[in-house]
A and B are shown apart, each in its own frame.
Chain A
Amino acid sequence: MSEQQRLNNAKNEIAAFGDMYNRMVKQCFEKCVEHFHDSELSLGENTCLDRCVGKYVESQQKVGEQMSKVSAQMQQQQM
């Protein structure tokens, strides 16, 4: 792998992480924040957010496991 490719791969990873972060923020905002009569996050909303982030990260891992499993199966079929 050339130096340029390594650099590109690293750039892609960083971009993907930023993208994941934005999606997580969007999801957790939509699922946890429901009223705006107050500009402060309530205790319930804060708790919800902590849990939302935990669950989102765990979902990330689960999907990663599935993708590895399926691509391993595909590689086996090709052999």
Chain B
Amino acid sequence: AFRTTMESFNKIPEHQKGEFVRHIEDQQMKDSLLMYNHLVESCFDKCVMVGWGGNFTSKQLAEEESKCVSQCSEKFMKLTQRV
């Protein structure tokens, strides 16, 4: 599938390649924003125990929650680099 994608790209006429590159950049921005939002949601879900049984005391992250979120996101970033 990857090879087919690059073959299609090579068949685009020269004068359209610029436009396509801009499209790729736009898509990359969308992907980054989506990944960011997904990361926030996942780390929040794993680290923050708001609710009846959980940390009910404040609007701010508790120290353990804050540390957990930082480590969660750092781990994820390293994961994406490895992949």
Interface positions of A (Cβ within 8 A of B): 2, 4-5, 8-9, 12-13, 15-16, 19-20, 23, 26-28, 31-32, 34, 44, 47-48, 50-56, 58-60, 62-67, 69-70, 74
Contacts and interface: CB of A to CB of B under 8 A. Distances in A.
Interface range on chain B (Cβ under 8 Å from partner): 35 or more
B52 A44 contact: yes
A75 B65 CA distance: 29
B58 A51 contact: yes
A8 B28 CA distance: 12
Contacts, number: 105
Contact of B73 (A12, A15, A55, A67): A67
Interface in B35-83: 36-41, 43-45, 47-52, 54, 56, 58-61, 65-66, 69-70, 73-74, 77-78, 81
A12 B2 CA distance: 26
A40 to B, nearest CB: 17
